[in-house]
Amino acid sequence: MTTTEEEGYRQIPREYRIAHPRPSICPQTKSEIEPFPTDVFRHYLKFVKNVIPKYELDSNVKESEAITYMRSLFDQEDPNPLYMELEMHLFLVTCQNHQVKLMANPSLTKFSILHHELFLASELIHIGKIKVEMADFCNMMLADIVDLYHNHFNDILEQKFWAKTKSVDDVIHHFLKKEFERMRTLNPYTYKNLTSVAMRKAIDSAPNSSVNKLIQWAQNNSINMDVT
């Protein structure tokens, strides 16, 4: 009996052993360094330092420089989602800041332009397929601005026209016609939403004798009166 047998262990005979065992598999890993997106970063940096600080609600342009600038990033063949989200988030926060200021100093013109700009931003969010939270934030502000526009429109209508016993012709020619004509330069979605809200309010608040004339004028000018 061998020493191992004496100690209670049985030695495996050599013929039962694996002659040439293979070494264990050791996966080889190689770290990959992702190249820094220098051009996209510069685009974002310019947006932060030069574009957003100058952002204003300007009625003389079809779309703001900020929207045009963001579109140049969103329309790239291989866009960078991170920087798309960063630029859009900054833009939406800036719009929210304008909205807060307008709550203290309301303006129908600026409310409508802000709604126009946010709608254009919502289209970019859809094209870029970025975070759903961005779309929710944008849609929430769009709804808020419709409410703010409605409230200020009502204040002007009541205080400057109905309270002063102005005629329905005064309301049409000195308020509705001018306001709606101005909004024709905005995108169709904004135009339809805000004119619908305004027209519905004008009809609801008008004296009974003026309602039919307002409805007829709206129909003649293809103004949608269904508030959605």
Chain segment 22-40, per-residue pLDDT in tens: 666 777 777 777 787 788 8
Number of domains in the chain: 1
pLDDT score recorded for residue 28: 75
- Within a domain: residue 26? no
- Within a domain: residue 227? no
* H or E element that contains 210: helix 208-220
24: left (phi over 0), alpha (psi -120 to 50) or beta: beta
Q: State the average pLDDT over residues 93-105.
A: 95
pLDDT score recorded for residue 161: 83
Of 146, 113, 139, the residue nearest 125 (C-alpha): 139
pLDDT(6) > 90? no
pLDDT score recorded for residue 25: 72
- Within a domain: residue 210? yes
pLDDT score recorded for residue 1: 46
pLDDT score recorded for residue 227: 54
- Within a domain: residue 158? yes
- Within a domain: residue 14? no
Look up the pTM and report it: 0.81
Q: State the average pLDDT over residues 186-210.
A: 92
Q: Domain of residue 197: give its range.
A: 39-46+62-220
- Within a domain: residue 17? no
Residues in CB range of 196: below 8 A, 6 or more apart: 223, 224, 225, 226, 227, 228
Calculate the average pLDDT of the chain. Answer: 86
Chain segment 38-58, per-residue pLDDT in tens: 888 999 999 999 999 999 998
Q: State the average pLDDT over residues 134-163.
A: 93
Q: State the average pLDDT over residues 133-159.
A: 94
- Within a domain: residue 111? yes
- Within a domain: residue 87? yes
Q: State the average pLDDT over residues 120-148.
A: 92
